[in-house]
Amino acid sequence: MTRSDVTIIGAGPAGLAAAIEAARAGAKVVLVDENARPGGQLFKQIHKFFGSREHFAGTRGIDLARKLCQEAQELGVQLVLDTAAFAIYDGRIVAGTTPKGTVQIESERIILATGAMENTFSFKGWTKPGVMGAGAAQTMINLHRVLPGSRILMVGSGNVGLIVTYQLLQAGADVVAVIEALPKIGGYAVHAAKVRRAGVPILTSHTVLEAKGEPEVSSAVICQLDDFKPVAGTEREVEVDTVCLAVGLTPLAELAWMAGCQCEYLPALGGFVPVHDERMETTVKGIFVAGDVTGVEEASTAIEEGRLAGIAAAASLGLLSPDEAEERMTAAWERLAALRMGPFGEGRQAAKEQLMKVGKAG
């Protein structure tokens, strides 16, 4: 059995940041990820981030991933790749499957940074080949350089739907339309404007009723909505070979549930999320969380939460003095507060405060 001070599950932005902070404090850190390389979703984020400079504005996700990976490596973080964590036993043993077999890591502290998964939405024909998550399409074009299709219908106008639409155009596909069930566009105006300038219509108060074709998608039926109900007579068939679903993300909290962490349902954060305190510790002592697993946000917030969890885990092992830990954590909280401002951040900030209040009450 391998032993570690801190085992982190998930090597995306949150997990890498946690690994860096814990290792910097002197912890023996094992970072587990099911993919062949660390970086999580950052490697497919070829667009530049927004915000302030200290939050990597102007930096592309892919460059940020390289920087974080290099830093983790220099600090001696042990990367265990191609390994899917499938269980946590006794709150301290992480079990994973490797290409060769299984591995067990006995861990003084565990940080869950497992991220989120794409939501689906069911309609007639949604299981046909050609219907896929927008994130999956983004992985195909930006990581594997394979176009999922040539004529695409994007369902959902949040930032994922808008950004992936633009990147599909860049990759050479034709996006026929972006449709949105709500009466207004979900994502940032700047992304929407780019999509509109490229000539792609964004149809609000619209949904998809059916994906047609045998065996794979050859067209989709869309219609107008009035108060979320289809308006009879507005159905029309659009010729597409791919329907991308960008209808939100759900925190991947299954290991937290298994470990007995209390979870709360907060729609603003994507569904059920593990309750945590200001140190990112869950209701199970020694198990911490960071990033999308405890509320779907952005890479920048995931990094700050990762730092908090890494610092807190190291401090709880006596590797940082309480004052040092306090100082570093206060700085991270200040950066988080700045990131959670504005019309998109405020709702999440309120939901996060509620989540931590539950943690205290428990």
Residues that bind other proteins (CB under 8 A): 1-2, 30, 34, 78, 80, 84-87, 89, 95, 97, 101-105, 117, 119-124, 126-127, 181, 207-210, 221, 225, 228-230, 250, 252, 254-255, 257-258, 263-265, 271-272
In the complex, least distance from residue 88 CB atom to other proteins, rounded to whole angstroms: 8
Q: Which two tokens stand for residue 41?
A: 């979703």
In the complex, least distance from residue 315 CB atom to other proteins, rounded to whole angstroms: 25
Rg over alpha carbons for the chain, rounded to the nearest Å, is 21
Whose tokens are 């428990």? That residue is 362
Say what angle helices 61-74 and 299-316 make with each other, to 10 degrees. Answer: 20
In the complex, least distance from residue 51 CB atom to other proteins, rounded to whole angstroms: 30
- Cα–Cα dist 22/3, whole Å: 15
- Cα–Cα dist 296/333, whole Å: 17
- Cα–Cα dist 271/32, whole Å: 25
- Cα–Cα dist 225/108, whole Å: 53
Count of CA atoms in the C-beta half-sphere (13 A) of 303: 19
Task: State which residue, 216 or 326, has the beta carbon closest to other proteins.
Answer: 216
In the complex, least distance from residue 248 CB atom to other proteins, rounded to whole angstroms: 9
Task: State which residue, 59 or 204, has the beta carbon closest to other proteins.
Answer: 204
In the complex, least distance from residue 21 CB atom to other proteins, rounded to whole angstroms: 21
- Cα–Cα dist 110/276, whole Å: 14
